[in-house]
Chain A
Amino acid sequence: MQPFVNHTGIAAPLLKDDVNTDQIAPVLHARGLQEDYKAMLFHRARRREDGSEDADFVLNRPQFRRAGILVTGHNFGAGSSRESAVWSMLANDIRVIVAKSFADIYRENCLQNGLLPVVLDAQAADAFIARVLAVDGAAPFTVDLVTQRISGPDGCDIAFEITAADRMRLLEGLDDIGLTLKHIDDIVDWEARAAAAQPWLQTAQDGR
């Protein structure tokens, strides 16, 4: 996994709650194994009914076309577990999402892919949103995972919390499977114990 240490980018405000993964990465009519994740991101929201670009959608506005940080409300990433809703962010070089809260599966998918999910409490979030709106894409913000701070124009400096474990995984870009495989002996031992204690769990045979 690509490590995350810090990221500097334009912060785009998508100030809604409950943005779901159907919106972030819609199921498109024609699809294949190799999908265009860059084009997928907010595909429907970016376009009007006639297929032309919706100039009002935040990521279509000139100052936010190359945004690197998305700023949003509560429960971001609700709904389907599709990981394309994270891959499509990365394909657009958005490597940080600052939200008031995230849906559980989406947050996990972020951590698995080196996309930093920053949760700010309501007060800090509102302060940051005010900054983002005031700056309006004119200058970038920097999100630093080492110092756990968001800095930006006019002395903006906001601290954020993240568990030490999630922080370490992101900073070192740790391979999650590799981390768990250090415990493969424990897993095999568990299987032997379970086979004795609840043998029906360790075998799945078609009795027909």
Chain B
Amino acid sequence: MPRTLLDRIWDFHCVGRRADGRDLLYIDRHVLHELHAHHAFTRLAREQRQVHRPDLTFAVQDHTVATKPGRGDDTNPSGSAFIKAMREGCRNNGIRLFDLGDPDQGISHVVAPELGLVLPGATHAVPDSHASTVGGLGALAFGCGTSELAHILVTQVMALKRPKSMRVRLDGRLGPHVNAKDVALRLIAELGVAGARGYVVEYAGAAVRAMPIEQRMTLCNLNIEMGGRSGFVAPDETTFGWLEGRPFAPRGPHWDRAFDYWRTLKTDDDAVFDRDVVLDCAALEPQISWGTDPSQVVAISGRVPDPSAVEPARRAAAESAVAYMGLAPGTPLAGLPVDRVFIGSCTNARLPDLETAAAVARGRRVAGGVAAMVVPGSSRVKREAEALGLDRIFREAGFFWGESGCSMCAGGNGDRGQPGERCVSTTNRNFENRQGPKVRTHLASPATAAASAIAGRIADVRQLAAGFA
């Protein structure tokens, strides 16, 4: 029987079926972060249970860490207890921690791939909803809560109902200054915030094949914003080339064997998905959110919709969003004055994201009155960016250049905007109050964010680029 790649990975990793009908799916790599881990460590200690495979478990400090240069445990006072508890829990349980000050510290979804901890056809879990970022390398990854985290620590499996399968085929070739972020935002707008609930999504098609790994990760990162717990891109030569030589990637004969196996990781031509979706990306413009959920998105040339013209089921949400965002229906998005720009997060803080933003910022200045910050996704990304001189470009343009962490994505480290501010952000959620009380978040790509910082208004990067060409 023809199988999807999901079937293949699932069947290989299925250890058995539990009495309650759930499959026990083996987790090859488990990565923790400090916000949830201490609850699980405390529970394990109380129940006198052991970590089954500390050698396959890794940990990072990312959610609560300060981004200020010279930061320490206590720079963000409300993070220090989490940071210290994480350190102690990892020491007690024999788990390798990429701690503050470690050259490999960073956001888990950025660090795990760049270290080669994520492999094609492998399974991966993180107690964070953006776990499937690493699906960009062809891994099947699940975000989970704290109880499931404790469960994985003790058993190295997740007890899951087998999900349905969805294929999203992205056709066409992306235009200049349009990338995976724009594709994902459009897709969420089309399918809705629960469109992929219950499904694992396989992203396919010419537009995906043309994407570098980092963009594939952006695409898979945003999968949860349409309700899908996991999404991935089948691996190809781009994937293998990206992984080779990474610190934890297989070496020598293991690499050769892995490589031969990985090349077989494909969905059979005649396999059937529970749902098939096609999006033509050829004419796609840069996208930006106007509302308070990630499906409330228009093209950069678009206008704030009139809630009375929105489908009835979504009307109340649109009315509430327009009010929160302080927008009048019919207003063009481009041209709205902005107070703050954030370039960072597991969605868009890998090196190519920063290169794209720097190319826009080079030789220009952040508009007066705009607070703009760049927070690299990992300490490695930061070093690599600095080696390329990107930090200088950003600083000279007037951006703050920070230490790596989740930062203003959810504000768990104290980085946040002021009430009423309008913020263009490369993150993943434009929920009310997420980036600070009453902060109005517009989700966009790094290029759009950088262009908006320079213009002081929401800007179409294509026009900015043309104007200075």
Contact = CB atoms under 8 A, between A and B. Distances in A.
Given A101-B197, A105-B143, A186-B15, A176 B159 contact: yes
Interface residues of B, number: 79
Nearest to B411: A27
A177 B151 contact: yes
A204 B248 contact: yes
Interface in B99-122: 117, 119, 121-122
Interface in B9-24: 12, 15-16, 18-22, 24
B204 interface: no
A179 B194 contact: no
Interface string A12-53: 000011101011001101111100000000001000010000
Given A176-B159, A201-B28, A103 B154 contact: no
Contacts of A81: 127-129, 143-145
A205 B248 contact: yes
B229 A44 contact: no
A32 B24 CA distance: 34
Interface string A49-77: 10000000000000000000000001100
B147 interface: yes
Given A22-B429, A75-B193, A165-B20, A184 B261 contact: no
A200 B119 contact: yes
Contact of B433 (A31, A44, A187, A207): A44
A163 interface: yes
B290 interface: no
A181 interface: yes
Contacts of A101: 194, 197
B194 A75 contact: yes
Given A81-B143, A207-B248, A208-B247, A26 B433 contact: yes
B211 interface: no
Contacts of A108: 144-145, 148
Contacts of B18: 179-180, 182-183
Contacts of A206: 247-248
Given A201-B119, A201-B122, A180 B157 contact: yes
Interface string A183-208: 11011001100100111111111111
Interface stretch (B249-257, B329-337, B374-382, B456-464): B249-257
A166 interface: yes
A104 interface: yes
A179 B20 contact: yes
B227 interface: yes
B58 to A, nearest CB: 8
Contacts of B47: 177
Contact of A179 (B19, B52, B129, B412): B19
B26 A207 contact: no
A112 B433 contact: no
Contacts of B16: 183, 186, 190
A109 interface: yes
B194 A74 contact: yes
B197 A105 contact: no
Nearest to B258: A200
Contacts of A176: 147, 151, 159
Interface string B122-159: 10000111000000000000011111101100111101
A32 to B, nearest CB: 5
Interface of A: 16-18, 20, 22-23, 26-27, 29-33, 44, 49, 74-75, 78-83, 86, 101, 103-105, 108-109, 112-113, 163-166, 168-169, 176-177, 179-184, 186-187, 190-191, 194, 197-208
Given A177-B151, A183-B18, 18 more contacts: A18-B317, A33-B38, A80-B429, A83-B39, A101-B197, A109-B146, A112-B148, A163-B21, A177-B49, A179-B159, A180-B154, A187-B157, A198-B12, A200-B119, A200-B255, A204-B58, A207-B247, A207-B248
30 contacts: A18-B194, A18-B317, A20-B429, A22-B432, A29-B78, A32-B78, A75-B197, A78-B194, A79-B129, A79-B431, A81-B143, A105-B229, A165-B20, A177-B155, A179-B19, A179-B159, A183-B15, A187-B24, A187-B155, A187-B156, A190-B26, A191-B26, A198-B258, A198-B261, A199-B254, A200-B119, A201-B122, A203-B55, A206-B248, A208-B247
The 3 A-B residue pairs whose C-beta atoms are closest, nearest first, are A165-B20, A112-B147, A200-B250
